[in-house]
Amino acid sequence: MVAKFVIVLSLAVVAYAVPLVPVSKVVYAEPEAPAHYDFSYSVHDDHSGDVKQQQEARQGDAVHGSYSLVQPDGVHRIVEYTADKEHGFNANVRYEGTPVHAEPAKIAYAAPVAKVAYAAPVAHVTYSSPAISYHH
């Protein structure tokens, strides 16, 4: 046990004696250009009925774009938006088409389950204690 203590203490002394090398952080100059991006995507899935699209572009601090989707009632919603430091976020929403409401499905009820009737027991079982008699 003493040997383990001496070994651990020796390692701690050696680790403490190693001089620390100063580390300097390398700083790279990065050019600061105004932010710029463009993206768009579109989905048309007949199986799930998911139909939507979006496109957006940014030039510096100004963003403009639009997205559209087909709502569950069949109406096509189109949103066009802009955002900048001066005016904030502004959206213009418009709808195309008329809502289509499907007839609700008829509810099918299950037939009632027959109640189970149990018969009364055929024989009655009686338990009695033996007759007690005292003999002198």
Model pLDDT for residues 64-120, shown as the tens digit of each residue: 999 999 998 889 999 999 999 999 999 999 999 998 888 888 888 888 888 888 887
Q: Specify if 3 maps to a domain.
A: no
Per-residue confidence (pLDDT) for residue 78, from 0 to 100: 96
What are the respective helix, strand and coil percentages of the chain, to the nearest 5? 10, 35, 55
Does any domain span residue 93?
Answer: yes
User: Which pLDDT band, with edges at 50, 70 and 90, does 62 fall under?
Assistant: very high
Residue 49 lies in a domain: yes
pLDDT band at 53 (very low <50, low <70, confident <90, very high): very high
| Chain-centroid distance, C-alpha 21 | 47
Domain count of the fold of the chain: 1
pLDDT band at 3 (very low <50, low <70, confident <90, very high): confident
Contact in structure between 79 and 93 (CB atoms under 8 Å): yes
pTM to 2 decimal places:
0.53
In the predicted structure, residue 135 carries a pLDDT above the cut 80:
no
Q: For residue 117, is it within any domain?
A: no
Please report whether residue 81 resides in a domain: yes
Mean pLDDT in the chain? 86
Residue 136 scores a pLDDT above 70: no
Residue numbers of the domain that contains 45: 34-101
* Exposure on the CB side of residue 85, measured as CA atoms within 13 A: 3
pLDDT on residue 88 = 94
Query: How would residue 35 be classed by pLDDT, with cut points 50, 70 and 90?
Result: confident
pLDDT confidence of residue 117: 83
CA distance 77 to 94: 6
Residue 13 in this model has a pLDDT that exceeds 70: yes
Residue 39 falls within a domain, yes or no? yes
User: What three-state secondary structure class fits 8?
Assistant: helix
